[in-house]
């Protein structure tokens, strides 16, 4: 009797997974999914069971790397997770996995918090530097503008002084008596 074959869309519907997930798992886990004459994937009941087991393991929190190692062990006959394509995780093993996950989450959380503190400090120092550079630039601009303002003020004062001199000179000329009146004394 010929074995039932499923297309990737049928297999993804049976498993409740997207087709790209099946292709990704096939590639990452080095699964040998058969292909027809046209090169299209087809899945057997055995393949469907393997993918069901992988899905269950993923739902229990195992990473693909751990699943890949167990599939390699399964091929060697030393697998603890797969037995005749059925999941076989003991409660103590499951507890150990959960404890390991909790421990890893805590370590990751601590590392993130530490890294976050380092980033905060680095950002704070960088901002201080940027602000001080910006303030120095503003101070230099202000000093330059002040110099220009004093130069213009100085020029304006000189112009006023020169105008006063010119005005005083012209007034003095007008005030002078003609020479003949100066001689007569009138």
User: In terms of residue numbers, what domain contains 63?
Assistant: 8-89
Last residue of a domain, one of 65, 89, 113: 89
Q: How far apart are CA 10 and CA 3, in angstroms?
A: 15
Do 75 and 99 share a domain, yes or no? no
Tell me the percentage of the chain whose pLDDT exceeds 90. 42
Q: How far apart are CA 3 and CA 130, in angstroms?
A: 71
Specify the higher pLDDT residue, 98 or 74: 98
User: What confidence category does residue 175 fall into, taking pLDDT thresholds of 50, 70 and 90?
Assistant: low
User: What confidence category does residue 71 fall into, taking pLDDT thresholds of 50, 70 and 90?
Assistant: confident
Do 124 and 73 share a domain, yes or no? no
Write the DSSP assignment of the chain as a string of letters.
-PPP-B-HHHHHHHHT--HHHHHHHHHHTT----B-TTS-B-B-HHHHHHHHHHHHHHHTT--HHHHHHHHHHHHHT--SSEETTEE---HHHHHHHHHHHHHHHHHHHHHHHHHHHHHHHHHHHHHHHHHHHHHHHHHHHHHHHHHHHHHHHHHHHHHHHHHHHHHHHHHHHHHSPPHHHHHHT-
In a domain, 102, yes or no: yes
Q: What is the pLDDT of residues 6-53, one digit of tens each?
A: 999 999 999 999 999 999 999 988 888 999 999 999 999 999 998 998
How much is the pTM?
A: 0.42
Per-residue pLDDT, 87: 43
Specify the higher pLDDT residue, 118 or 76: 118
Last residue of a domain, one of 54, 89, 124: 89
Q: Would you say residue 92 has pLDDT above 60? A: no
Q: Please tell me the least confidently modeled range out of 40-44, 126-130, 180-184.
A: 180-184
Do 34 and 20 share a domain, yes or no? yes
Do 13 and 32 share a domain, yes or no? yes
Supply 79's token pair: 């697998």
Specify the higher pLDDT residue, 149 or 98: 149
The CATH number of residue 22's host domain is: 1.10.1660.10
Do 77 and 114 share a domain, yes or no? no
CA angle 83–89–92, rounded 5-degree value: 145
């Amino acid at each position: 009797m010929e074995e039932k074959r499923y297309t990737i869309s049928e297999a993804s519907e049976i498993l409740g997974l997207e087709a790209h997930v099946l292709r990704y798992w096939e590639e990452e886990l080095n699964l040998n999914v058969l292909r027809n004459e046209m090169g299209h994937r087809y899945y057997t009941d055995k393949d469907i069971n393997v993918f069901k087991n992988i899905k269950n393991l993923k739902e229990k929190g195992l990473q693909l790397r751990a699943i890949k190692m167990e599939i390699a062990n399964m091929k060697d006959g030393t697998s603890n997770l797969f037995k005749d394509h059925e999941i076989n995780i003991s409660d103590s093993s499951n507890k150990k996995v959960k404890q390991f996950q909790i421990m890893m989450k805590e370590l990751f959380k601590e590392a993130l918090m530490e890294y976050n503190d380092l980033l905060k400090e680095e950002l704070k120092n960088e901002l201080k530097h940027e602000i001080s550079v910006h303030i120095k630039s503003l101070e230099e601009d202000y000093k330059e503008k002040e110099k220009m303002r004093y130069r213009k003020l100085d020029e304006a004062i000189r112009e006023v002084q020169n105008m006063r001199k010119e005005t005083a000179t012209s007034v003095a000329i007008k005030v002078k008596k003609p020479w003949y009146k100066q001689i007569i004394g009138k």
